[in-house]
Structure 1
Amino acid sequence: MKSKSKLLITGANGFTGQHACNHFSKQGIDVIAVVRNKNNAKINNVKVECCDLTNQTSVKELIYKVKPEYILHLAGQNHVKESWVNPIMIMEANVMSSLYLLDALRTEHPSCKVVIVGSALQYDILQDKYPPHPYSLSKTLQSLVSESWSKLYNLDIIIAHPNNLIGPGHSKGVCSLIAQEIVKTENEMPAKPITISDPCIHRDFLDVRDAVKAYETLFKYGNNNEIYKIASGKSHSLGQLVSKYQSLSPKEVPVTVNKSNTKEAPIRVDVSKMKALGWVPGISFETSLKDILTFYRQLEDQKD
């Protein structure tokens, strides 16, 4: 990526989007942040464009106006529970928005290089007949559409499958939820104990800042129509997560851990394709947790 190249980032107001805008703007990239409502934009020092990505005409006008060299497509909905309640909304946000974006590139700017950020929760259509939930179906269809448009119309599209992203910033992930309650406890405020039903469940947690660097690597060296798994390559149980947090706080961590007789095997995510491109994660699990706590402690201090 050359300095001053135009990079369009969708979902710029989100957890990963804010980190991506900050990272790429510091690299001298001309970042255009796409948000649904400019009045709610949380990004500084970058250009902001307002667009409803579920509106085909608006998306086409955006691409015609900006003509970016690169697009990082982060926008969408990632709530599994919400997908059961409103599956059509999930399909529109994750599938149709991607399709409108890619088809706008087909007609208006086919030379653009795109990284579509999918999900580790999509299912394998060759092994499983049905998805576990509508969200999984939506992200699976998003990948299928992206692969198909790349092949059918010779578009430069890469698909990234990140695992559980953590780090400083507003997030609805378990690491952030626990950190918020820890900070309440440290400030003698009422906290809602979080229940972990099975401490033996394993997750591969990756710092969002490492994920953004992975996306940069894909822009530079990623191969067209390839899928890349992005993860730390390390497995941590939820019980280990609670223990780590306990070592970082002088107060009792407000978490209820249920006893479990299950023994879940550690997760092993194959990130060899990313390593072959020269990317390796650089932020440790403990550092991520420290930074999450610092973020929420500073937020609380700002209220005083």
Structure 2
Amino acid sequence: MSTKVFITGIGGFIGSHLSEFLARQGFEVWGSYFRPTNDMSVPRLHGKGLFNIDLRQRDHLEEALNIVRPHVIYHLAAQSYPMVSYKQPEYTVESNIIGTLNLFETMLKLGLHETRVLLASSTAAYGFIDPSEAPVTEDQPFRPAHVYGMSKAGQDLLGYTYFKAYGLDIIRMRIGNCVGRRRRGEVVSDFTMRRAQIDLDLIPPKFRVGNLYTKRAFLDVRDAVEGFLALQKKGKSGEAYNISGAEAVSMQHLLDVVLQGCEKNVHVVEDPELVRAVDELIYWNDLSKIKKDTGWFPCRKLEETVADMIDWWKGVLPCGC
């Protein structure tokens, strides 16, 4: 019998890639979506069954999980954009924290104590990190910089509580900046889209940028889903694991990589509107724990990821996708 996997948030960027990856690994993939941010054709192609569920509605979630009774749950569903959390803090908290609470309570009601949960927390929960503290280990205290980061810290703490107090098999994945094809609405996606637009003569060769001094460790989504599976198989119940890029780079370095090989003379302009009022100086995480317990370590270079994303954008921009 195939292992049944249920992915909440299967209509998101990571969820769509994970559905494709796990199906090719021989898993029976099910999932739920609400306000999908990615093309649903991918999970529909690879999923055995999909449910349109707002996780804030516990009865709908209970109905779906009782039908599937999965062996593994990847809980990815969330309002996943920090900038949105500034404008919609209530929705962010309800979706991320109440949605997670509903999942765990439903599992208890249905007796799914043997189901392994891979909970998508975030390195945004760490928040304000002094560069002297980086790379941070899983023992780093939470000092979130915005409501999104706070909501991911809340999810993370709920995961620990329901493991410790109720015995649910929960692993907390503190995921870093995850990027790749089909990603929209973050800096690598924005930079690579504009590079593709410039190459295709869709916009003038002018690049508006915000703060180029902050640093981030970017994780290719193909590395990410391989890391998720490694944790599913070998991760220790109740533990938290950093899963992110291995090296932090400045936004200036990212820009240099994106513009590398561009045949146009690109004019870079700093735009105050793109500078966040509150921004973390660095996201860079120690990966020793996940490597020790599972053997996983990211292998794709930023240059490879960026080139792949530019190529994808060139394919979808002409058709307005």
Q: Tell me the TM-score normalised to structure 1 length.
A: 0.89
Q: Is 1:286 the equivalent of 2:311?
A: no
Q: Is 1:224 the equivalent of 2:237?
A: yes
Letter paired with 1:119: S
1:257 is displaced (CA, Å) by 4.6
**Alignment correspondent of 2:90:** 88
Measured in 1, the distance between the counterparts of 2:297 and 2:142 equals 34
User: In the alignment, which of 140, 148, 155 is matched to residue 142 of structure 1?
Assistant: 155
1:79 is displaced (CA, Å) by 2.1
Find the residue that maps to 1:116 and give its secondary structure: strand
Alignment: residue pair count: 297
User: In the alignment, which of 287, 291, 296 is matched to residue 275 of structure 1?
Assistant: 291
Over aligned residue pairs, what C-alpha RMSD do you find?
2.7
Measured in 2, the distance between the counterparts of 1:118 and 1:22 equals 21
1:267 is displaced (CA, Å) by 5.8
Find the residue that maps to 2:269 and give its secondary structure: strand
Deviation per CA, 1:43-94: give whole Å up to 9, x if none: 2232222222110111111111110000111110122232222221111110
Measured in 2, the distance between the counterparts of 1:265 and 1:137 equals 17
Q: Tell me the TM-score normalised to structure 2 length.
A: 0.85
Find the residue that maps to 2:125 and give its secondary structure: coil
- Answer yes or no: is the 8 Å Cα contact 1:12–1:21 preserved in 2: yes
Q: How does 1:50-129 map to 2 (within 5 A)?
A: 50-108=52-110, 109-123=112-126
- Answer yes or no: is the 8 Å Cα contact 1:178–1:254 preserved in 2: no
**Alignment correspondent of 1:261:** none
Amino-acid identity (%)? 27
Q: Is 1:154 the equivalent of 2:167?
A: yes
**Alignment correspondent of 2:218:** 205
Q: How does 1:5-24 map to 2 (within 5 A)?
A: 5-24=3-22
Letter paired with 1:115: L
Deviation per CA, 1:133-185: give whole Å up to 9, x if none: 21122111111111101111101000001111111113212111111112222
Measured in 2, the distance between the counterparts of 1:130 and 1:183 equals 36
Letter paired with 1:273: K
Deviation per CA, 1:212-235: give whole Å up to 9, x if none: 111101100001111100122212
Over 3 Å counting, the alpha-carbon distance change for 1:198 and 1:83 in structure 2 is: closer
Deviation per CA, 1:31-53: give whole Å up to 9, x if none: 11211279x73322322222221
Measured in 2, the distance between the counterparts of 1:97 and 1:13 equals 16
Measured in 2, the distance between the counterparts of 1:124 and 1:291 equals 29
Q: Is 1:300 the equivalent of 2:317?
A: yes
Measured in 1, the distance between the counterparts of 2:281 and 2:55 equals 39
**Alignment correspondent of 2:197:** 184
Find the residue that maps to 2:202 and give its secondary structure: coil
5+ residue gaps, structure 2: 129-138, 272-279
5+ residue gaps, structure 1: 259-263
**Alignment correspondent of 1:249:** 262
Measured in 2, the distance between the counterparts of 1:285 and 1:10 equals 28
**Alignment correspondent of 1:41:** 40
- Answer yes or no: is the 8 Å Cα contact 2:207–2:266 preserved in 1: no
1:265 is displaced (CA, Å) by 8.6
Measured in 2, the distance between the counterparts of 1:195 and 1:72 equals 37
